[in-house]
């Protein structure tokens, strides 16, 4: 198709040049100026083509629609439950991901009155300078980098998870990838390394999903607050449509934008004092006092078992009546811990164990979810006992 477009443009160009009075010039050799460091170029399947091959089912549409409404209500305070995003640090095995989704489905049924549980379904590796870039880019885990396959597989995986009634959360790192999972993502997080990117802030101002912004790796909450301000406003920017064609996009702004506290290299930021400081920063900018806390990363200081301590502290704050905490993120997988990926032998991997950050297992996750659900019930009771104003 691209070749057909090029041929058509070549045929029409002389006439356009004559109308504009542009003088035709001899061809100039620009081989040393253009794509000087590009060693290969392959056409990738378009979002429209992927959506045609893997259409949105009625079950998946219903899951995403209900999930977005529920999480938006939690974020705005219309729903007094707590949003919980639990799942692998990054997806690398679709079969294990689907098995984990079954666990989330059971937890949703058990704790639905108190928690709105989503599955963390990150197919773009959210960190590091080099090495494996994630399932969407290298689905065979062997350096073959079959991106078209990864994009199709990502949509299939999210379709199957949402068909189970489990809403998904993602962290898009590329400006183009969200188009491939349109209609499937309930919650999108902007990562710590992308939060200062103004183009990322503008993009999510047009997202149909709920959005959150993590504090920077150095621990700056102010950058996340600035991102929330930017994303809540309308923007005009250059993007692509579902056919991969460049387009000017106009957005309404996304009123669900909020801060995610994920800690920093120097230490965690989930304590009551940190929550109070974040509320103050938000209030000073006229923003709702809404905070989601990531129990992993800087808050666990890269020790997956410390997530249990983080959740226990948060549960205490919630039970004590803290209303600003609207969500919690937990890195969890079928098997606790992590393992290294050998791209020369990806078949040697242990089933259900993370190849990126270490995770807690379902039993630990189940205990944390129960603790958070109990905290929500206590907060609800505290609010009911509080004397009314007047």
Q: What is the pLDDT of residues 30-64, one digit of tens each?
A: 889 999 999 998 989 999 999 999 999 999 999 99
The rounded distance, in Å, linking the Cα atoms of 282 and 312 is 25
SS3 142: coil
Res. 388 pLDDT band, cuts 50 70 90: low
- The answer to whether 184 touches 51, Cβ cutoff 8 Å, is no
pLDDT for 2 equals 62
pLDDT of 131 strictly over 90: no
The rounded distance, in Å, linking the Cα atoms of 385 and 149 is 55
As beta bridge partners, residue 213 has 190, 259
- 299 phi/psi in degrees, rounded to 5: -70, -25
pLDDT of 12 strictly over 90: no
Mean pLDDT for 374-388 is 86
Locate all alpha helices (DSSP H) within 245-339, ordered by sequence: 272-284, 306-319
Q: What is the pLDDT of residues 294-338, one digit of tens each?
A: 999 999 999 999 999 999 999 999 999 999 999 999 999 999 999
Mean pLDDT for 58-77 is 98
Q: What is the pLDDT of residues 202-218, one digit of tens each?
A: 999 999 999 999 999 99
Strand spans (E) along the chain: 82-87, 115-120, 168-170, 185-190, 210-214, 236-240, 246-250, 258-261, 291-294, 325-331, 335-338, 353-354
Q: Give the CATH number of domain 59-336+349-385.
A: 3.20.20.70
The rounded distance, in Å, linking the Cα atoms of 355 and 360 is 13
The rounded distance, in Å, linking the Cα atoms of 89 and 359 is 7
pLDDT of 77 strictly over 90: yes
Q: What is the pLDDT of residues 239-260, one digit of tens each?
A: 989 998 899 999 999 999 999 9
- The answer to whether 83 touches 327, Cβ cutoff 8 Å, is yes
Lowest mean pLDDT: which of 21-25, 174-178, 211-215, 356-360?
21-25
Given CA atoms 322, 323, 329, 330 in this order, what sign does their dihedral have? positive
pLDDT for 303 equals 97
Q: What is the per-residue burial (b if ≥16 Cβ within 10 Å, else e) of 340-364?
A: ebeeeebeebeebbbbbbbbbbbeb
Closest CA to 292 of 64, 65, 74: 74
Q: What is the pLDDT of residues 80-103, one digit of tens each?
A: 999 999 999 999 999 999 999 999
Cα atoms found within 13 Å of the Cα of residue 331, Cβ hemisphere only: 30
The rounded distance, in Å, linking the Cα atoms of 308 and 72 is 26
Pairing of strands 236-240, 291-294: unpaired
pLDDT for 126 equals 67
Which residues have C-beta within 8 Å of that of residue 309, sequence separation ≥ 6? none
Which residues have C-beta within 8 Å of that of residue 73, sequence separation ≥ 6? 79
pLDDT of 4 strictly over 90: no
Q: What is the pLDDT of residues 120-130, one digit of tens each?
A: 999 998 666 67
- The answer to whether 243 touches 266, Cβ cutoff 8 Å, is no
Closest CA to 269 of 198, 192, 168: 192
Residue showing tokens 């301000």: 229
The rounded distance, in Å, linking the Cα atoms of 252 and 300 is 36
Res. 1 pLDDT band, cuts 50 70 90: low
208, with CB counted inside 10 A (0-12, 13-18, 19+), is middle
Token pair, residue 10, equals 């070549």
Mean pLDDT for 129-151 is 93
pLDDT of 3 strictly over 80: no
| pTM of the predicted model as reported, rounded to 2 decimal places | 0.92
Locate all alpha helices (DSSP H) within the chain, ordered by sequence: 2-20, 47-53, 58-76, 94-111, 147-163, 198-204, 221-231, 272-284, 306-319, 362-385
Q: Give the whole-number percent of the chain exceeding pLDDT 70.
A: 97
Residue predicted with more confidence, 29 or 323: 323
Averaged pLDDT of the chain:
94
Q: DSSP secondary structure string, 192-214?
A: TTTTT-HHHHHHHTT-SSEEEEE
């Amino acid at each position: 198709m691209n070749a057909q477009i090029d041929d058509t443009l070549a045929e029409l160009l002389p006439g356009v040049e004559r109308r504009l009075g542009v003088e035709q010039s001899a061809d100039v050799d620009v081989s040393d100026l253009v794509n000087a460091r590009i060693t290969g170029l392959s056409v990738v399947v378009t979002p429209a083509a992927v959506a045609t091959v893997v259409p949105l089912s009625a079950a998946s549409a219903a899951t995403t629609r209900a999930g977005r409404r529920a999480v938006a209500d939690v974020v705005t305070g219309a729903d007094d439950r707590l949003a919980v995003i639990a799942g692998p640090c990054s997806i690398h095995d679709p079969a294990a991901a689907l098995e984990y989704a079954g666990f989330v489905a059971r937890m949703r049924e058990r704790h639905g009155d108190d928690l709105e549980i989503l599955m963390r379904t990150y197919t773009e590796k959210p960190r590091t300078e080099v090495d494996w870039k994630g399932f969407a880019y290298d689905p065979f885990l062997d350096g073959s980098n079959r991106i078209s396959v990864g994009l199709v597989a990502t949509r299939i995986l999210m379709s199957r998870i949402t068909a189970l009634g489990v809403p998904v959360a993602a962290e898009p790192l590329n400006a183009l990838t969200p188009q491939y999972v349109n209609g499937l993502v309930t919650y999108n997080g902007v990562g710590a390394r992308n939060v200062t990117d103004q183009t990322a802030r503008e993009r999510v101002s047009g997202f149909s999903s709920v959005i959150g912004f993590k504090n920077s790796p150095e621990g700056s909450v102010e950058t996340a607050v600035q991102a929330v301000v930017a994303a809540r406003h309308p923007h005009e920017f250059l993007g692509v449509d579902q056919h991969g064609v460049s387009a000017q996009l106009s957005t309404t702004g996304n009123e669900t934008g909020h801060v995610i506290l994920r800690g920093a290299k120097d230490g965690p930021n989930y304590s009551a004092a940190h929550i109070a400081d974040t509320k103050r920063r938000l209030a000073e900018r006229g923003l709702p006092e809404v905070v989601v806390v990531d129990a992993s990363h800087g808050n666990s200081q890269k020790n997956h078992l410390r997530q249990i301590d983080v959740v226990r502290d948060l549960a205490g704050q919630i039970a004590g009546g803290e209303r600003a905490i609207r969500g919690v993120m937990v890195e969890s997988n079928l098997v606790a811990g992590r393992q290294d990926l050998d791209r020369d032998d990806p078949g040697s991997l242990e089933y259900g164990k993370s190849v990126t950050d270490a995770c807690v297992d379902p039993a630990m996750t189940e205990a944390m979810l129960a603790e958070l659900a109990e905290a929500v019930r206590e907060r609800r009771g505290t609010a009911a006992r509080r004397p009314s104003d007047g």
